Structure 1
Amino acid sequence: MPGVVEPHDGLAAAVQQIVLSSDENYTDQLIPVMRDLRHSDRAAHLIQALNQVSSDREADIERMCNSNHQGFINSVNSLQRVREGTMTLTSEIMTLSQSIQASTEKLAEQKKALVDSRGVRQNIDEATLALKDCLELLRLANQVHELLGKKNHYAALRALDELQNVHLREVTRYKIAEMIEKSVPATQTLIREAVMTDLNTWLFRIRETSQFLGEVAFYHTEMRRARQKERSGKDEYLGSFKLNSAIGLVADESEEFDVLNNDEVQVDFSPLYECMHIHDALGQNDRFRTEYAATRRRQKELLLPTSLNLLDEDGSGLSSLLEGIAGFAIVERATMKKTDGLRTSVDVDELWDSMCQSAITLISSALPTVDNDEKLLKIKGVIALFVQTMDSWGYSVTSLDTLLLTLFEKYAQLLKKRFSDDFQEIVSTDDYMPMLINNLDEYDKVVNSLDELLCEKVCQSLIERLSSQYPGQIVQILTNLEHFETACKELQILLAEARSSTSAAGPIVLAATQRFEDGKKTAEKRIFELVNSKIDDLIETAEYEWMSATPTQEPSPYMVELTRYLSNIMSSVLLGLPTAVKSLIYFDALDHAARSILALPLSPHITRISPAAVAALTTDVDHLTNFVNSLGNAAVLQENLDEIRQTVELMGAENAEEFFEAGRAGRRFGKVDKMTGAVLLEKVAQGAPPPPPAPASVPAPATQAKPAGQFSTLSSRLGINK
């Protein structure tokens, strides 16, 4: 119990409350007491009260200890025992703790193993999912090859496109996606090669079918010809028109016969369409167009034999050749119509012209072996059937018409030979009795049968064709006219030799000989006109900047094109002409070109010419000169360029006064026309840049004159007007 504290101003009660209060809130009991301690004496009284309480407490404790010593000892012993037990328990707890720690470590290891196993399980799941995705990719990739193996080329290409643009985008994180992505171009190449293989197979079958296709086309034309002949027999007006003419087509039957799809032959264009579709999907239309054109050119070459036999009894060699060409050309024309842009009319016509020229060459080479006029008529019939058939397909048959004229010439020669043989036989078996001619008409008929035929039919028909715009045709006509002229001269000799020695003397002159000679000159003149017209067209494109301030080192485009044209036409179109005629054409063409080029700076509307323009003109003339130097017989051809070379040299000369000196001008400018030279020099002087101003300290010479005035004075001195 707390001791009795003597009250001082209520402090004893406060201390009593502190003693009775619990440990945790004694401070809260002390705060109001401390708040009232405003004077130090009260604080001292508080401390005194606290000390009194403390003393009382110690006395109570000592009293309690004195009365309970043995119990305290016992308590200490008990406490010792408890402590020993506690130590034992602590040891057991430590042992248990170690056991628990070991169990915990083992559990942690097992948990770690569980976590690791869960990670492995997750990796396995992810690997399984990746494997499924990759297997799906492989399945789709294999599906492409399976479709390719089944020749479903477009389906394979669509599957490959879906694989590339859809499925591969979903699994780009896998290495196999990159591998398949890299293999896509190779697979596209496989699809393209596969479809090209099918196309080549189709083209091979087409090539094998071409001859039969041409045979069917020939038969159909023959039937149309027979039906037209039958209709012409009933109507004289229709009889005046040929097969495939406008009237003939109108009067023809309305039923159309499809040569490419009938009971005898069927041409399926599906492989070609599929190949075009595949290349369009691959974006390789231009490549396919080029390869297809090259393949058709190779097939065209395989179609043509190296030689031709015209002497076989059934004429199978010529028929097979022309039927094959016809079938090939019909397929080409049908391909151009059935497809969009695969075959242009230029490509088709180029192959047609090449095949026609090859066939003409083969026939012309084998023609000398034919010595029977009836056999020649059969050959002409086959060619005429070929011409009529291909004319109905829109092909140009002009060169074949020329071949028919050649056959006519050959036929005339055979008739002449047969007539000569028959005449010799008649002479050898003649009893030398006079030939009776009843009237003058019979006599004129005997004398003039052949000469009139050559003049009116052969020569006139060839001259009428000279209006063509194609130099190649004019060259062929010129060749034909030359051959006919030679034939007429030989015929004159033959007739003179066959004439009786007792008849009137003197040579036999056919009017046709002079007609063919005149026609040949007309053809040569026509070639000159066409070549010079082309030269004029090229020179008209010349664009000189006559007051240009910048010199150029390259020849003008028109000059490059002009020399290229002259080189090409002489090495291709005019190659078959005699050397003398070709040289004359070259000579005339260069002379015309030089005069036309020289006329450019002489144009009245050109009043001034700069040094740079003179240099450009000089470069072009040098280019033309170098071209002529590369030709044969250059020394003769260079004479045509002397005037223009010396003229441009004069225009660029530093000392132009030499031109007006008679003695010196002849050495350098002998070919230059005086009036032309004076006019050009004045234009060059007008276009020359003004001289730099003289320094102020040095006055200009009083005798210095302007160049233009100088040339004007010299011109007037020579008596040359502008």
Structure 2
Amino acid sequence: MPGLIVGDQHEDLTNAVQQIILSSSEVDYLDQLIPLLQNAQTQTQVGPLIHALNHVSSDRDAAIEQICNNNHQEFVNSVQQLQSAREGTVSLTSEIMELSRSIEASTEKLAEQKKALVDSRGVRQNIDDTTQALKDCLEVLRLANQVHALLGEKNHYAALRALDELQNVHLREVTRYKIAEMIERSVPATQRLIAEAVMTDLNTWLYRIRETSQFLGEVAFYHTDLRRERQKERAEHDPQFATAGLNSSLELVADEVEEFDVLHNDEVQVNFAPLFECLHIHDALGQLDKFRADYAATRRRQKDLLIPPTLNLQDDENNSLSSLLEGIAGFAIVEKATMAKTENFRAQSDVDELWDSMCQSAISLLNNALRIIESDDKLLKIKGVIALFIQTMDSWGYSVTSLDSLLLSLFSKYSSLLKKRFSDDFEEIVGSDDYMPMPISNADEYTKVLSVSWYTPPADETSNPEELEYPCVLPFSQMYPLVCIDIRNFINQIYLFSDDHFRNTAAIDRTLKEMLDDLLIEKVIRTLLAGLKSQYPGQIVQILTNLDYFEQACSSLEALLVSVRSSSSAAGPINLNATREFKDAKTAAEKRVFELVNSKIDDLIETAEYDWLSTYNPDQVSLYMQELTRYLANIMSSVLLGLPQEIKHMITQTALEHIAENLLALPLDPAVTSITSEAASAYIMDVGHLVSFVENLDEEQMPKHEIGAVEELRQNTDLMGLAAEGKGEQFFDQRVTGVRFPKVDKIRGAELLEKVQTRGAISGGGSAAGSAAAVVAGSGSGTFADGSAAAKAQSTLNDFRSRFGDFARRT
């Protein structure tokens, strides 16, 4: 069987067997054997492999047997030793087994202890893990409780920060625990609690602000009033501040040294921390828009609560109005401060809308309440409160246009009430006047009259009150200084309206002029004109005197209005219609004086009873002429005494002209056809008495250069005397006429020559003109020899009249 094995295969199997034998372990043995078994080539050589193995085994047995044969004794000894060693080994084995059992028992106990230790370590680890978990959960719970504790302490922002830290840091560390889920679910609710709590605090703050608004406004008003006083002091010391009003650039710069914070001072403290906190928290919560809308709605509701349903303006101190305006001012100041201290929180349009709404509501209340106010003093006090409010809010940058319009309507009512009051005063003063020159008892009274009126003493009188003799009489009646006082008071009262704040100053100037015109025209001029219906010349003359002084006063008043007008942009003079009206009224009064004086003159002249055909030469002036000159002397020394010289001279001259015209009309009356020389002498005597009276007037009563009013009358009477002497033809001599009769009307002179008879003429026939005609006709005797001569003379006279009349018209 072995012989079938090829040599090379045998070597390979031998080598493989050698490697198997040399394997250090069964595993290696198998590792060497398995490839041989798996080799397909060797599948048919299993027998040879076994044979090879047997061969190796035989070789090894033979080798062992040889070794044993060679070393038998030694082997026996070795066996004995081995047996001895085996016995020792058995003994040791027993001991080892005993020790092993002991060790095994100890090991079991140790294993039990180790197991217990392992179990203990696991429990401990669980305990540690549980402890750490509890610590983490307790920290979360602590922070959650801290959030609520901070809420309880009203530290809302800290609570929100703690909640944020809890949610974003600590909850992430305990996400595997259910408590994290529970707390996570509670975060929105806690955020709502924080938002509600901070809103509660904000509402409390808003309530306190609403309660503080009035006091805040009161403090602001007081501060504005102090600024007014400081500005007045500056204006007194420095003229450049006189035109600078409150809140002007100049005033604001000058007042910088007086720092005052209305919101933070000794009287009031407005802390915006609750608002800032609420604003910040809602910003952090992402609810800023909602908070902005809610805040705006709350402020609108608070604004409505500021406005009362009605306003009482009857109290003397204006407490109701002051409270209303102080509340509005405080509310508006807080709004401005809020807008300034925050960014993009309060829109300018919202603040302006609230302001406009409050102003319109206040204006509506004021207009309703003002309807029952009938006192200009009360309106002035109301204006003062409103002006203080306007100046205060103007300094905070609010628009005050609507309030300025309110002041304009208030001024309209104020001026109307003022006009009514002064109208009643004027009416009482003028109506109760005695129309007598005003008596002055002492220097104090005289000084007062000079100070309140526009009376200037005449140049020939001393202006020093101490140098006058008292009692004395001023030319005007007492109504003049009283009306002047009222005019000054009226001007002062009108301009009191613009003392604090009034931008429509042109309206004051315009209204003042119109109302002064109305008062003077309606209450003074109309009343004085109505008094002209009196038949008492003294009253008419006094009215004329008053009108004259009022006219002069109006000129001074116009200059005063220019100097005191409040509108700096206005320029040019101020012309009162009353000045012209006084002038016209004075003309009417003068006419009325003329009417009365001329009426009396007419009545006296009508009593003249001249017998133009009388042959009696009177030895004294006619009674009517004596009465007439006495009347003239009386009115010039009493009635006309108080008139200004110009008016007095004009009235006297006009009266004399009227007398001259009426006296000249007596002989020129068409009914008078002939005048005897005796009648002419009586007439000439009367006229001479009048001329003598006029010439004897002193310079004050009638300037000598103005006595020409009776000169024409005198020259006509001289012509009548010349005619009575039979020298009437001299009138037709231009050289004589130019010297002696320059004022005699040519036709009137011719008529007088025609009517006046020459001395010694035939009764009932002839005249100076007739004599002239006879001379022209060549009669030469001065008498009419027959009717044809008379007719011829009359024809010649008519021709002369025609020619002379044409000459007179040409010249």
Alignment TM-score, normalising by the size of structure 1: 0.45
Larger gyration radius, structure 1 or structure 2: 2
Alignment TM-score, normalising by the size of structure 2: 0.41
